[in-house]
Structure 1
């Protein structure tokens, strides 16, 4: 298995970074994971802003040379792991900007007759590891599961990715948030992961 980790948090002295380290540690001890790439969007200086003008047209995003290396990473990966906080009920703007640019028509999906497009990323799988200040069940009860709906149905299923696993960790700023237990859970999951 070839795995791409997309990390989206601006501080390396953080719990999110600890989750990243545990994903890496578990993955490196897993004989099923043959290759591993890490994309830190903040360290990379990724520009999340969409630009459409006379030189950059929306219909040409799938061939934009400025993001070719990121398209190659997605094409290369069997499994894509996203690590990010949930802010205001959704992923950070940095990650959404990455998604806006990379999951473009004629790369991630192709329009066809009917309601749904042809997903071009079939066969890949995704794991989302997210943290939040609020209680674990806050997105489900208060926001009608908006985060998972956005990521799974509006994005991943749309581009052909059917196998999606979520870890939504709440109470992460609380001294009773069981952070070490949750870090161990992620480490053990990736240590035993199969495609």
Structure 2
């Protein structure tokens, strides 16, 4: 099993870093080959520029994008570990997606889905309570973002784990969260592709289906 981890928290003592270390060790213990993409350490440029757009016509990708696409194609599964800031990804992760998930890779002009059948497991931490994240519609928006990216790219699974109120939990509660994270990524091994949650199972999709049924 080849697994790529996308990580973009700048603080080395963050809980996100503890999750990264825990997940990496756990995956390797289960026999996976793991590549960690620490975008801050890599100094990955998240700004989509003219050269990125021109690559659609020249077929010549910027060197950093070509390398990341190569590793993305290598992976059977992609794990994103990220805080939620202002309702979404940090800019470095959003920029990575903008630049690396090119239309030619995700869905070519010939209708080829280059990432079809891969699996995505997103782990997001929040500073707010579950109740606030739900009532403010942030939960819906996070699931929708997960849907839009991995659903369009035809990933077999697109699962999302939210960890709430991280700055205010006790050390014991953090340890419990780390155990939850282990159980979450175990699904990569314990379930076959397509057996986990897909975008059609997400709260945002189910809410949309429910709304459409009323019309």
* Superposition TM-score tier, normalisation by shorter sequence: 0.7 to 0.9
Q: Unpaired segments of 5 or more residues in structure 1? A: none
Determine if contact 2:48/2:99 at 8 Å carries over to the other structure: yes
Q: How big is each residue's C-alpha offset from its partner over 1:123-167, in whole Å with a ceiling of 9 and x where there is no partner?
A: 100000110101124333312610110122x11111111401111
Q: Evaluate the alpha carbon distance shift between residue 184 and residue 103 of structure 1 in structure 2; reply closer, same or farther with a 3 A threshold.
A: same
User: How far 1:106 moved relative to its partner?
Assistant: 1.0
User: How far 1:56 moved relative to its partner?
Assistant: 5.7
Q: Larger RCO: Structure 1 or Structure 2 (Cα < 8 Å, ≥ 6 residues apart)? A: 1
Residue 68, structure 1, aligned to residue 70, structure 2:
no
Spell out the pairing of 1:23-172 with structure 2 (5 A cutoff). 23-31=23-31, 33=32, 35-52=33-50, 57=54, 59-60=56-57, 63-66=60-63, 67-111=65-109, 119-143=113-137, 145-152=140-147, 154-172=148-166
Determine if contact 1:135/1:170 at 8 Å carries over to the other structure: yes
Determine if contact 1:132/1:172 at 8 Å carries over to the other structure: yes
SS of 1:119's partner is coil
Q: Which residue of 1 aligns with 2:21?
A: 21
Name the TM-score, length of structure 2 as normaliser.
0.79
SS of 1:149's partner is helix
Aligned length: 187
Higher helix content, 1 or 2: 2
Q: Unpaired segments of 5 or more residues in structure 2? A: 193-215
2-side partners of 1:161 and 1:138: how far apart?
A: 29
2-side partners of 1:61 and 1:88: how far apart?
A: 36
CA RMSD of aligned residues (A): 2.3
Name the TM-score, length of structure 1 as normaliser.
0.86
Determine if contact 1:83/1:128 at 8 Å carries over to the other structure: yes
Determine if contact 1:19/1:186 at 8 Å carries over to the other structure: yes
